[in-house]
Amino acid sequence: MVKHILFDFDGTLVDSRALLVKLYNEMAMQHRFRPIREQDLGPLRSMSISERVDRLGVPVLQIPKLMVAGRQLYHENIRSLQIVPGMKEVIAKLSTQGVKSSILSSNSEANIRLFLRKNKLEGAFKEIISAKHIFGKHHSIRKVMKQWGTTPARMIYVGDELRDIESCKKLGVPIVAVTWGYDSPQLLLSGNPDHMAHTPSELYRILIGLS
């Protein structure tokens, strides 16, 4: 029986795709990377992170520095973000059922808490955990399990990217992949997730069935 749910933030809870494209294009202009055009969005959703980086011509060694700059720009624009329609209700219903939920994200804790305050969701999550490993989220998930003293079978991860699935597979942690985030349904399926949800209401039914 699942006792704790770990939610990813960007893409899963928050519709931040338009903002992140805007911020990336601002940095692309500054650093002379290839910008993301409207016609690029569909193909990019079906690529792995390494394929996207290669397609856009972003030097891998510059990614950590760009992440720091991007988080600051994100923080300055966070009030424009909206929660994914239907997810606020999912979180509220899970809370009334006594299900413990936390957030694990490569976004900063400050950004996440600011968004939660704006949407009156401060008390909805037990913890906000900022993942330090950009390309190896399984390290952060393993650390969380150790802190909680729990096993993979007693938790479940909710994410929207292939890398989320791959991280969970390394640890044996069940995952629900949602299709409204960054990666296309076809790319998510290639990772063989334990469950897939196409709408927040479908996500809720899956999570309650496992709790």
Q: Which residues are catalytic?
A: 8
Q: Which residues contact 132 (CB under 8 A, 6 or more apart)?
A: 139, 140
Please report the beta strands in 92-204, taking only residues with DSSP state E, as ranges in sequence order. 100-105, 128-130, 155-159, 175-178, 195-197
Q: Which residues contact 182 (CB under 8 A, 6 or more apart)?
A: 10, 11, 17, 45, 160, 161
- Please check whether residue 86 is in contact with residue 13, taking contact to mean a CB–CB distance below 8 angstroms: no
- Integer angstrom CA distances of residue 9 from 12, 103, 107, 154: 6, 7, 8, 21
Please report the beta strands in the chain, taking only residues with DSSP state E, as ranges in sequence order. 4-7, 14-15, 82-83, 100-105, 128-130, 155-159, 175-178, 195-197
Two tokens, residue 96? 């009334």
